């Protein structure tokens, strides 16, 4: 009974509720147990902690009284003191850091980890402000803010191999606990969600200026330049749009190859050349080329299972080549260069090292052919040169393609339609399709003199009337045992 004669009911007295709302008030009770004090304005008493009430007695339905509707309750309003940074019992040694921001030592982190190095236990004022808005943490149940701080502490302990008060194994267990309690923020995907940080580097598809247009985001009558975009999805662009485009690819640079992906297509032959070609490719610098074999190919016994793919049915030259390039890209999508070659080719030694120093010959190209047919060999100088022959391109024995060109080739509509609408039922003409694709898209088709590879095959089940003679043979190949750099320097 208060001084004015009204009844005062302690805030921890049992609440009489209807049967249907008990679950909701159980949640309310759990939240109230986390609070530090309860005040009563009527009694004017100081804040005291509520006495512990057994769980099975916290809600007791009074059957002697009429039951209330599901959403009506009899409850006693109370004044609750909410947590603040200043009243946090774990906050200590408050000071200003070197950047004029307030930091404090978190005693809860020390209780959980047991570390003796107090420099690891600092928490910023911002972290404390967010922490008091979460549920009150304990050593048994931490909130997301404490989990974030705990993760940082355990990371330092793990990197040190364990410190006084917290060994390596304990830190690993606590880090796992912290990871489970971190808050996950789901961000909606935007059109630029997967866009790389373009920076100021020129784009692979960025073309010449084609005009001007009014700047939509500028005041007044400001005009901005428009440029041709050689990507099939755009057509034109501006400098700003190019830097924000998700299809951005950096232009090629000389010496920019660090990661190779090499593959070799093969089919049955009366006189097999696969093993010799693989040995030559290994000496040239590619010891782990993946073999894509048509059925009935006699594969070398030393070829590891993870380096070979055997087709379940006969595909043909073009389908096997196109499918193999798809698989190479999907296996290693971040390779800088893709080498796809055939099973009847020899290479000069030191070729990989030479290519890594000389490729790429231009900032934007479609393909580099390592084999140069005799009638297309320029012969008057050494090095790479362009040869835009379109459908008349000769020799798909060994192609090197940069990453952006591989993706452009695989998604090109005319290339894809060759299997359905091309001559010979779309089963052949690899070199013609690639050459025509380069011509249609304005991408350079490069050859090299002297030829960096030699065609040695005679006949196969795919090309019964073809042989590596005449135009199909390279006239300037320096030899399988010759080093290409030394051969060029000596001439």
Question: Which pairing describes strands 444-449 and 206-214: parallel, antiparallel, or unpaired?
Answer: unpaired
Give per-residue pLDDT as tens, 114-168: 998 888 899 988 899 999 998 899 988 999 999 999 999 998 888 788 888 899 8
Strand partners, 347: 453
Q: What share of the chain is helix, strand, coil (3-state, %, to 5)?
A: 30, 20, 45
Is 20 or 430 the better-scoring residue by pLDDT?
Answer: 430
Are the C-beta atoms of 435 and 396 separated by less than 8 Å? no
Quote the pTM value: 0.60
Joined together, the tokens standing for residue 469 give: 């003679």
Q: How far apart are CA 432 and CA 159, in angstroms?
A: 57
Give per-residue pLDDT as tens, 450-479: 999 999 975 444 444 444 455 678 999 999
Q: 64 falls in which pLDDT band (50, 70, 90)?
A: low
Is 313 or 8 the better-scoring residue by pLDDT?
Answer: 313
Q: Which of 475, 453, 446, 434 is nearest to 342 (CA)?
A: 453
Give per-residue pLDDT as tens, 299-339: 999 998 889 999 999 999 999 999 999 999 999 999 999 99
Ordered by where they begin, the domains of the chain are 16-80 (no CATH), 91-181 (no CATH), 191-251 (no CATH), 260-489 (3.90.550.10)
Statement: residue 23 has pLDDT above 80: no
Helix ranges (DSSP H) in 332-402: 351-358
Q: 8 falls in which pLDDT band (50, 70, 90)?
A: very low
* DSSP characters over 94-141: EEE-TTS-EEEEEHHHHHHH--S-GGGGEEEHHHHHHHTTSPPP-SSS
Average pLDDT over residues 362-372: 95
Is 366 or 53 the better-scoring residue by pLDDT?
Answer: 366
Q: Which long-range contacts (CB under 8 A, 24 or more apart) does 168-176 make?
A: 170/113, 170/114, 171/113, 174/112, 174/113, 174/150, 175/150, 175/151
Q: Which of 140, 145, 151, 142 is nearest to 179 (CA)?
A: 151
**pLDDT at residue number 80:** 46
Q: How far apart are CA 58 and CA 26, in angstroms?
A: 8
Statement: residue 188 has pLDDT above 80: no
Helix ranges (DSSP H) in 254-387: 274-284, 317-331, 351-358
Q: For the chain, how far is it from start to end, CA to CA, in angstroms?
A: 113
């Amino acid at each position: 009974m208060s001084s004015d004669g009204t009844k005062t009911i302690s805030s921890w007295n049992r609440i009489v509720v209807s049967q249907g709302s008990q679950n909701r008030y159980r949640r309310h009770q759990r939240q109230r147990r986390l609070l530090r004090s309860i005040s009563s304005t009527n009694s004017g008493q100081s804040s005291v902690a509520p006495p512990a009430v057994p769980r099975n007695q916290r809600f007791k339905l009074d059957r002697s009284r009429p039951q209330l509707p599901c959403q009506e309750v009899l409850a006693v309003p109370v004044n609750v003191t909410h947590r603040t940074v200043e009243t946090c019992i774990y906050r200590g040694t408050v000071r200003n850091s070197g950047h004029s921001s307030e930091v404090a030592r978190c005693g809860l982190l020390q209780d959980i980890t047991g570390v003796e190095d107090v420099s690891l236990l600092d928490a910023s004022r911002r972290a404390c402000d967010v922490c008091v808005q979460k549920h009150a943490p304990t050593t048994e149940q931490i909130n997301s803010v404490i989990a974030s701080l705990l993760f940082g502490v355990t990371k330092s302990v793990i990197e040190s191999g364990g410190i006084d008060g917290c060994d390596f194994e304990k830190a690993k267990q606590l880090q796992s606990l912290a990871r489970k309690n971190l808050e996950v923020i789901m961000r909606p995907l935007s059109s630029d969600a997967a866009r790389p940080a373009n920076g100021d580097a020129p784009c692979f598809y960025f073309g010449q200026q084609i005009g001007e247009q009014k700047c939509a985001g500028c005041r007044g009558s400001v005009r901005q330049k428009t440029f041709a975009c050689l990507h099939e999805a755009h057509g034109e662009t501006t400098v700003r749009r190019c830097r924000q485009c998700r299809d951005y690819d950096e232009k090629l640079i000389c010496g920019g190859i660090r990661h190779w992906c090499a593959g070799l297509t093969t089919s049955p032959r009366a006189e097999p050349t696969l093993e010799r070609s693989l040995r030559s490719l290994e000496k040239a610098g590619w010891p782990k080329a993946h073999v894509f074999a048509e059925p009935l190919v006699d594969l070398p016994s030393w070829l590891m299972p993870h380096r070979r793919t055997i087709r379940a049915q006969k595909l043909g030259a073009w389908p096997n080549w196109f499918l193999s390039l798809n698989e190479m890209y999907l296996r290693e999508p971040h390779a800088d260069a893709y080498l796809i070659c055939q099973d009847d080719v020899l290479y000069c030694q030191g070729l990989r090292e030479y290519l890594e120093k000389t490729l790429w010959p231009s900032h934007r190209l479609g393909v580099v052919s390592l084999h140069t047919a005799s009638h297309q060999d320029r012969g008057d100088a050494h090095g790479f040169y362009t040869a835009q022959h379109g459908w008349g391109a000769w020799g798909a024995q060994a192609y090197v393609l940069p990453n952006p060109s591989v993706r452009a080739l695989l998604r090109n509509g005319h290339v894809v339609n060759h299997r359905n609408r091309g001559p010979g039922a779309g089963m052949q003409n690899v070199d013609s399709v690639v050459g025509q694709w380069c011509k249609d898209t304005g991408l350079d088709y490069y050859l090299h003199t002297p030829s960096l590879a030699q065609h040695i095959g005679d006949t196969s089940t795919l090309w019964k009337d073809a042989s590596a003679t005449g135009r199909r043979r390279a006239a300037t190949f320096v030899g399988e045992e010759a080093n290409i750099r030394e051969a060029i320097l000596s001439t």
